[in-house]
Amino acid sequence: MTPVATTAPARNLLKTRELGILLALVLLVLYTTINNSRFLSGQSIRDNLLNTAILAVMATGQAVVVITRNIDLSVGSVLGISAWAVATMMSEHQGLPMIVAIVAGLAVGAVAGLLNGVLVRYGKVPALVVTLGTLYIYRGITYQWAGGSQVNADKLPAHFLNFANDNLLGIPWLVLIALVVVGGATLVMRNYRVGRELYAMGSSPQAAELAGIKVARNLLGAFVLSGALAGLAGVLFAARFGTVDASAGTGYELNVVAAVVVGGVAVFGGSGTVWGAGLGALLLTVISSALAVLDINQFWQQAIVGALIILAICADRLVAVRIARSLRKRDARA
Amino acid sequence: MLRHRLAVTISAASILTLAVAGCGGTTKKNSSDTGGGAQTTASANPNAQLKTGLKIAYLPKQLNNPYSDVETSGGEEAVKALQGEYKKVGPNDASASSQVSYINTLIQQQQNVIVIAANDPNAVCPSLNQARSAKIKVVTFDSDASKDCRDIFINQATTEGIGESLAKMALEQAGAAGGEIAVLSATPNATNQNAWIAVMKTELAKPEYSKLKLVKVAYGNDDDQKSFQEAQGLMQSYPNLKVIVAPTTVGIAAAARYIGSSSYKGKVAVTGLGLPNQMRQYVKDGTVKKFALWNPADIGYLAAYAGAALASGQITGAEGDKFTAGKLGAYTVGANGEVVLGPPTEFTADNIDKFNF
Amino acid sequence: MLKKLGSWDAIIILLTLIVLVVASVTVDNFGTSRNFTFMVLDLMPIILVALPMTFIIITGEIDLSVASILGLTSSLMGWFWNHDLSIQTIIPLCVLIGAVAGMLNGFLITGLGLPSLAVTIGTLALYRGLAFVVLGDSAVADFPFNFTGWVTGTLGGGSIPNVLIPIIAMAVVFGVILHATPVGRALYAIGANAQAAHFSGIRVARTKFWLYVVSGAVSGLVGVLWTLRYSSARADNGAGLELAVVAAVLLGGVSIFGGKGSLPGVLAGVVLLTALQNALRLEDVSGQALNIVTGALLVLSVLLPNIVTTVRGNWQRRRLRQSAAQ
């Protein structure tokens, strides 16, 4: 069975995608540090990594979904409902260990993601419509539940809030979790069969069905993963910021999709990597803090993100055209 | 062909625009004011009975704000004492446009009094004036609206008093050598914060404050996460900062949380206006030495009585009008329809346990 | 019997009428003329932006940047006002800027052939970001009273809001174009099968390009109206509007895949959502809780027709099997 692989030159083009982001990151950090050496200080690096952690966790799930040629716009609302649920739980049962909070967040998110997956697969409703609808529904549920109130940092147990700052061997827990999530997902997507299948589903949904791939199981899995990771992000959010109300996570879906697109995962599916999405998340966060340090008007940040998204899409299109051309040439020669 | 069409369209439109511009028109400089609201011509009758069953609605800056919650709880207590109908509505983000929608709904629901803390002094004006035309009395509290669109403003303390207190606390906590200070405010248009910051700047220009330098005013939008990130940004841009002054309870809580968990704890003072319950742990662990406030519940309470007095015809909001506000005693309306609650209280580790709000 | 279920458009229009009637009777103060004005003002941005959005979705594309163009023109309006341009210059200038913003969308999507979902997510961020660069966090609120008063006022002080006139005029124009002209028919053709449409002589790329320009211009106009309505130019005006518009359009029966849908359905969808929100607010139900209903209606609008088709298909297959067995 011939692998659905890309030709050697095309694979190099794809590699340059992630390398491109890495290069941009290095250049940016260098430029900012030259201007202000404090940018590479311990506290500053810590702050940057902590700020990235939550976005990277969500970008991982989103990358998997987008690779299958779908999208999940409900992640911001899932973060919100998970953050509220966990914060309420922890403020009422102060003794619960952190691991319970994490599992609770994962569970809430997984259920939310499952609903998305079921509607997409069995209801045959396009992912854009489903997740747009659940974006509204989950946010509405959170507001109904929370009313106008909030869980204040002074009501949460100390061990929960300290988790955000505590280290294991010098690395903050939040960052470790993010690394494990991004790294784990990258490994699975690259080395395991299910990863290959997900890419195939994104490249050509019909061909994947005909080839006997268990599309239903994989699709549900992708959405459950995205939801669960958004739920996890909700727990991390509550621990880091302490004060949670019904509006937590509003608008996050834009940042997550931006991180994923900038990181090289094409909206058309079938290409890109999870660690690229993680890099995208890091790049976006570093841009934000670099702007503050360079004393550039912070308001340029969103405009820059938008410009980067457009550049990323153009680059992906260029790569796709080149691959198509080289595949055609290879077929013509064969 | 496409480009040709485009060029034609754009040039046509530009010529049209310039032509219209040439005709002169209404600009900022020559436009008239906000079209004025319903002016009460009736005179005050201090002997009028306070009506019962008044529908008094509270519209704070935003809902998920512990400070607003304390304010409106005071209001609820007063409305109960007045035997009126209490209602609280508000947006989840401190935005003026959202407040306008709620004002419209309140007009529709035929309330008697609207008590509002404005997110923007001008943006809420047209709808407040519509309310007044519909015979609804408008009382602003905490954060004023433009004075032609409300009947009375309840100010927690004199604006000068608050601004001076903020400057004084900053000077005390900056250390003997003084240094750089920054302000972490709420939203950029907030009437109250802007007024206090203006007084602060005037104070800072005086010779006794020469050792202090205000390097930045950052805006946390009264959003906890944004305030947290702005505090982070301030320390990154100005690592020699000596004091962060946050004249908003959300800002001071977020700044204290950031500084208290970072390497800046003990080196950078956090002060401003805060709620004792929120700040208690930071005062106890040394992150915050001193901050100030008043009792927000009293503002809400006073506002309800002022509104009831207006609705019953006891006062009209003119200077010199007198009314009684239940357990708080007698009050006189000052210039521009302003009623002042009293002086602010300073909280330190010594007295913080005496308060529960 | 299943065939009688009728098209989704008819269902939505019927549902809208029912909601309006029930609300007028059961909710206090709903059926007053002042409330009618408030409702029309709430409707205004959604319905106007939904008109070109319907066209775009029918051709199988999408435009998520509309709210950001609204915000950009709103903040530019404030900036121009602070720099002493006359309001008579500012208004057409802002509409023009909206059109230019739409041109960028159109160029990226039709000129470079990039996917519209991703591109408009990018321009959503870009334009909103530029809006913040122009005006920052602050607001400009001192617009002339005769303009802001016109937007919030009624004809001669009566019960017909002034803005209803441009709303009805534009709805009629868009409706006629879509349902009674070759241009409209071409849109359906493009949505059904872009390649076939191309081969039959329709200039697909050019049509789509101008759709995005119109979408941008209308968003710019709505930015002006929004600013005048609230008398407040802010960079974050209209945030989230694009989702409400897409939700209303899909609810109105337009298929996200393109090629199907009608304007009356969309108009009904917008009115339904706004009326529900207005009525629930009068009953002191939090506006956010309405989101649950909006989201559910959105998903159902695609799910139910799918279920009907599947059930109908199964039923037909069973009939065939039965007749074959005989």
Establish if A302 belongs to a structural domain. Answer: yes
Q: Is A242–B232 a contact, with Cβ atoms under 8 angstroms apart?
A: no
pLDDT at C172: 96
Interfacial C residues in 105-124 facing A (CB < 8 Å): 108, 112-115, 117-119, 121-124
Q: Is B16–C92 a contact, with Cβ atoms under 8 angstroms apart?
A: yes
| C142 vs B contacts (CB less than 8 Å) | 28, 31, 34, 122
Of C247, C291, C298, Cβ closest to residue A139:
C291
CA-CA distance, C154 to A80, in Å (whole number)?
A: 41
Establish if A246 belongs to a structural domain. Answer: yes
Interfacial A residues in 57-86 facing C (CB < 8 Å): 71
Residue B62 forms contact with C (CB below 8 Å): no
Name the token pair of C135. 């005006």
| C152 vs B contacts (CB less than 8 Å) | 126, 130
Name the token pair of A115. 């609903």
ipTM for this prediction: 0.84
Of B236, B253, B261, Cβ closest to residue A292:
B236
Q: Is C145–B35 a contact, with Cβ atoms under 8 angstroms apart?
A: yes
CA-CA distance, B246 to C255, in Å (whole number)?
A: 51
pTM attached to this predicted model = 0.84
Establish if A240 belongs to a structural domain. Answer: yes
Structural domain of A53 = 9-329
Do the Cβ atoms of C121 and A254 come closer than 8 Å? Answer: yes
Q: Is C137–B120 a contact, with Cβ atoms under 8 angstroms apart?
A: no
Query: Which residues of chain C register pLDDT less than 50?
Result: 1-6
Establish if A282 belongs to a structural domain. Answer: yes
Which candidate, B172, B201, B150, B171, places its Cα nearest to that of B39? B150
Chains contacting B (3 or more CB pairs within 8 Å): A, C
**Sheet strands side by side (includes B113-116):** B85-88, B55-59, B113-116, B137-141, B152-155, B338-340
Do the Cβ atoms of A293 and B237 come closer than 8 Å? Answer: yes
**To probe the interface with A, which of B61, B63, B259 has the most A CB atoms within 10 Å?**
B63
Do the Cβ atoms of C295 and A140 come closer than 8 Å? Answer: yes
- HSE, CB side, 13 Å, CA atoms: give it for residue B319: 3
- Number of structural domains chain A divides into: 1
Where along chain C do its domains lie? 8-18+28-312
pLDDT at A47: 82
Neighbour tally for B323: CB within 10 Å: 22
CA-CA distance, C316 to A154, in Å (whole number)?
A: 63
Q: Is C141–B122 a contact, with Cβ atoms under 8 angstroms apart?
A: yes
Domains and CATH numbers, chain B: 55-156+296-341 (3.40.50.2300), 159-293 (3.40.50.2300)
Task: Give the model confidence (pLDDT) of C173-212 as tens digits.
Answer: 999 999 999 999 999 999 999 899 999 999 999 999 999 9
Residue B122 forms contact with A (CB below 8 Å): no
Q: Is A257–C296 a contact, with Cβ atoms under 8 angstroms apart?
A: no
| Share above pLDDT 70 across residues of chain A, in percent, rounded to a whole number | 95
| A252 vs B contacts (CB less than 8 Å) | none
Establish if A2 belongs to a structural domain. Answer: no
CATH of the domain at A155: 1.10.3470
Task: Give the model confidence (pLDDT) of C38-92 as tens digits.
Answer: 889 989 999 999 999 999 999 999 999 999 999 999 999 999 999 988 889 999 9
Distance in Å, alpha carbon of C85 to nearest chain B alpha carbon: 6
Q: Is C132–A123 a contact, with Cβ atoms under 8 angstroms apart?
A: no
| C296 vs A contacts (CB less than 8 Å) | 133, 137
User: What is the full per-residue pLDDT of chain B (357 aa) written as tens digits?
Assistant: 455 555 555 565 565 555 554 445 777 777 654 444 445 556 777 777 888 899 999 999 988 777 888 899 999 999 999 999 999 998 877 777 788 888 988 998 999 999 999 988 888 888 899 899 899 999 999 999 988 899 999 998 888 889 999 999 999 998 888 899 999 999 888 889 999 999 999 999 999 899 999 999 998 888 887 888 889 888 888 889 999 999 999 999 999 989 988 888 889 999 999 998 888 888 988 889 999 998 888 999 999 999 999 999 888 888 888 888 888 888 999 888 899 988 788 888 888 888 878
| C290 vs A contacts (CB less than 8 Å) | 140
Chains contacting C (3 or more CB pairs within 8 Å): A, B
Taking CA–CA distances from B258, the nearest residue in chain A reads: A241
Taking CA–CA distances from C72, the nearest residue in chain A reads: A303
What is C8-18+28-312's CATH number, 1.10.3470, 2.60.40, 3.40.50, 3.30.70? 1.10.3470
Establish if A334 belongs to a structural domain. Answer: no
CA-CA distance, C326 to C324, in Å (whole number)?
A: 5
